[in-house]
Amino acid sequence: MKIFNCFKKDKKGVTFVELMISVLILGVCLGTMLSSFVISKISTAMARHRMEAMNYAQAAMEVLIDDPTAIYTLPAGEMLDLGGTYTGTVANFAAGIDQITVTISWTERTMGGSGVRTEQLVTLVRQ
């Protein structure tokens, strides 16, 4: 056991260098955890916006299937706050078949800035 006596410290406590290294390691770990929380918050918001757009597109599609001349508007809420727009078209695809296209677009704020996102539904309806 006398071999390990050379590693024994006579002084108690930590040195400044040891303290700085532990603070650096703790900072790197906390920074990584914080960035993952921020990224997950942004990803959740983007998924929520996409799902909301798909729900509005489906509602608009059902309105246009029932009445191709109907006018659908986006309800007040987060999609309109993001600059959301709606377009719906009914076109003659073939004899007795109409093509209905619904498009919802909005401006998504991301970590790298912002960009326009679009969700589109297309269906064929026999008249």
pLDDT for the residue 124: 92
pLDDT in tens, 82-105: 889 999 999 988 888 999 999 999
Low-confidence ranges of the chain (pLDDT < 70): 1-11
| Sign of the CA dihedral with 107 first, then 109, 113, and 119 last | negative
Tokens of 35: 């960035």
